[in-house]
Amino acid sequence: MTSIYICGKVTGLQPEQVEEKFDCAADYLHDLGYKVVNPVTLVGNPQAKWKSAMHICIKGLMDCEKLYLLHDWQTSRGARLEVLIAHALGITIILQDKRQQQALELYILTNNTWQTIPPRQPAAIA
């Protein structure tokens, strides 16, 4: 089963809002057949210090084949760091469609060049 890490804004939001947003994405990705790595669950403490939380999250990301970007990822310092790491490692990145909470586009790093390819259908995800 392909593992996928959820990436999005946490800092500055209410814990209930963060949990709902990440849980919704996790449910969607699980229904598509992914093994979901939810950083909110990994950290487990909404009061955790940023550096401590990122330490845990980056370890979780390192075990994944894909990264799922929530629509608000660009406004998050931690999410931008996770994207840089995924980029450097060639991890496949999927962007969330903020209106439908589904995969919008799929980007993959090949020979140091980003290419856009259509998202896989749920039955095709391995």
Q: What is the pLDDT of residues 68-117, one digit of tens each?
A: 999 889 999 999 999 999 988 989 888 886 555 555 455 555 555 555 55
Three-class SS state of 68: strand
CATH number of 3-124: 3.40.50.10400
Query: Whose CA is closest to 94, among 17, 7, 35, 24?
Result: 7
Query: Whose CA is closest to 54, among 42, 72, 71, 70?
Result: 42
Tracing tokens 């909404």 back to the chain, one arrives at 46
**Per-residue confidence band for 121, with pLDDT thresholds at 50, 70 and 90:** very low
Q: What angle do CA 108, 110, 111 make, to 5 degrees?
A: 155
